[in-house]
Each structure stands twice: as structure tokens, then as C-alpha cells.
Amino acid sequence: FIGILLITMTSCSSKNDFEKGKQQLENQGYTSITNTNWKSFCCSEKDNFSTGFEAIDKEGRKVEGCICSGVLKGITIRFK
């Protein structure tokens, strides 16, 4: 059980989750998506990782937010 938990935790790195979130944002039309690293107070207490991002939306406006994730949970994208 501990081995499975360790594998799950290490496979949920924020870098890996950023790439998944970036792909979702690109699919929704966002461009110039950059990783702004760890973002405090952006995700819920149920999330283990919080990776900030900046992007350009379809209208050409700069947006900010974070990609949240947790062990045994998918990712959530939150906007400021």
C-alpha cells in the first residue's frame, strides 16, 4: 500500500499537472501559457499542488489563474 501511495504522489508532480492543464487551456483557445510556479491560496484545502499560470484568452486579454491537483484527483483550473 505504501509503495502505491508513493508512486501516486510522485506521479502527480505539479510540473506534470501544469502540462495537463496547459493542454486543456490550449484546447479552449488560450495561448502564450506560462508557468508562474507555486501559487498560494489559489486552490482548495483538498488540493496538494497549486501551479500558477498566465495566458492570453481568445479576446487577447491577459488572464491569470492556477492549476490545482491532488492525489487520486484530477486537475482543476481556477482563474483570478
pLDDT of residue 13: 44
Contact 54, 17 (CB under 8 A): no
Q: What is the pTM of this model?
A: 0.77
Q: Are 68 and 36 in contact (CB under 8 A)?
A: no
* Average confidence (pLDDT) over 35-44: 89
Query: Given a cut of 90, is residue 78 above it in pLDDT?
Result: yes
DSSP 17: H
Mean pLDDT of 36-48: 88
Cell numbers at residue 59, please? 479576446
Say if residue 25's pLDDT is above 90.
yes
